[in-house]
Amino acid sequence: MNPKTNVITAGPLTPIVAVVLLGLTAFLVVTSLQLRSRTGTLTIITPATTTAISISQIDKTVALAGTGTANIRLVPGKYQITASNDGTRVTGQATVSSGKHTTLKLPAHQKSLIPSPDNINFTGMETVIANGITTDQAASTRWLFFKYWQNAQNIRISPSTVAPGPRHPDSNDPFILTFSGLIDDTPYNAKLTYTDLVNVELTLTNPQTGVVLFDQATTKSTD
């Protein structure tokens, strides 16, 4: 055996290296425990593995947190999270607390911040369609409701109240449908008047007073 090969194994440097490593480990333990105690963890879950996730705070910079799912450690505070995938952007907020774990699950889609009929949850429209209006007219009706109350969250049409208005079958009079329901928690009576397959006139009245609240028609081309 060549005695030179033993030189690299355990020379007098070994105790020094051991002490350095022990010191480094102790330092890392102390700093990690300190960091752990003054931060919290946030797990962000998105529906797709390709979703890019970023995080920011008011008047702070932004940082990419990961893709698909992110597990990050942050100082306590309120954070804004953005997840983006295929041009679709979803935002969320999370509050991080010291020593605590927070999970934020982001949806695949989100309501637009710009007022839109798509942001309103309509229920009962299928009964109105079953009573004679077209899907185009249903869309026009949603639009007119939106024009009346842009910030509505829920518009309910009570199915049992949907009824066709009086009309002689041989006349040129417009068709009429009446119904009632709730815009959020506010009751309304509605009358839909139409002569073609696209446009409608929506008249909303206060059920208690009979006062007309809204009366407007769409004027789309019927070509």
- Which residue ranges make up the site for another protein (CB under 8 A)? 6, 9-10, 14, 17-18, 21-22, 24-25, 28-29, 31-33, 35-36, 39, 41, 50-67, 70-75, 80, 82-85, 89, 91, 93, 112-116, 150
Q: Which residue has the tokens 């009573």?
A: 131
Least distance to another protein, CB of residue 23, Å = 9
Q: Please, what is the minimum distance in Å from the beta carbon of residue 104 to another protein?
A: 14
Nearer to another protein, 14 or 222 (CB): 14
- In the DSSP assignment, the letter for residue 170 is T
How many Å separate Cα 158 from the centre of its chain?
27
Judged by beta carbon, residue 23 or residue 164, the one nearer another protein is 23
Nearest distance from C-beta of residue 202 to another protein, angstroms:
17
H or E segment to which residue 138 belongs: helix 135-148
Rounded to whole angstroms, the Cα distance separating 174 from 196 reads: 9
Question: Other C-beta atoms within 10 Å of 204: how many?
Answer: 21
* Residue 62 or 197 having the CB closest to another protein: 62
User: With b meaning 16 or more CB within 10 Å and e meaning fewer, what string describes 209-221?
Assistant: eeeebeeeebeee
Complex with another protein: residue 100 or 105, whichever CB lies closer: 100
State the minimum distance, in angstroms, from the CB of residue 41 to another protein: 5
In one-letter notation, the amino acid at residue 123 is T
Q: Are 117 and 148 in contact (CB under 8 A)?
A: no
Select 9 or 172, whichever has its Cβ closest to another protein: 9
User: How near is the Cβ of 207 to another protein at its closest, in Å?
Assistant: 28
From the CB of 182, what's the least distance to another protein, in Å? Answer: 23
Closer by beta carbon to another protein, 74 or else 176 = 74
Do residues 52 and 83 make contact, with C-beta atoms less than 8 angstroms apart? Answer: yes
Tokens of 220: 């789309």
